[in-house]
Amino acid sequence: MYEDKTLVCKDCGEEFVFTAGEQEFYAEKGFQNEPQRCKACRDKRKNAAKPQREYFTVTCAQCGGEAKVPFQPTSDRPVLCSECFAASKNQ
């Protein structure tokens, strides 16, 4: 019933394929309009409103390795790298 269509992105001007599966999904959801942006431009537009997360570099309290964490560490609690944290959760 549906066939792949080649559309042009209104932001970057590149061609992208609107697949038959995507068309079927749009029809099931009741969407009337075809997409106007390629996947990359849709993602970029969606993420533009999100603030960039600030990361802090710390030394792991267990292995001494360097780690980046998305919170300001305090001196009263030890901070673990992701590997040491995962290992401590499994114990």
Per residue in 10-29, pLDDT (tens digit) is 999 999 999 999 999 999 99
**1 — pLDDT class (breaks 50, 70, 90):** confident
Residues 38 and 63 in one domain: no
Residues 11 and 41 in one domain: yes
Residues 80 and 62 in one domain: yes
Residues 61 and 28 in one domain: no
The per-residue pLDDT for 76 is: 85
Mean pLDDT of 47-54: 84
Average pLDDT, the chain: 91
Residue 9 has a CB neighbour count (10 Å cut-off) of 17
Residues 31 and 14 in one domain: yes
Backbone Cα Rg of the chain: 22
State pTM to two decimals: 0.54
Q: How far apart are CA 31 and CA 25, in angstroms?
A: 9
Residues 84 and 60 in one domain: yes
Q: Count how many domains the chain has.
A: 2
Residues 40 and 15 in one domain: yes
Residue-number span of the structural domain to which 21 is assigned: 5-47
CA torsion sign for 37, 42, 44, 47 is: positive
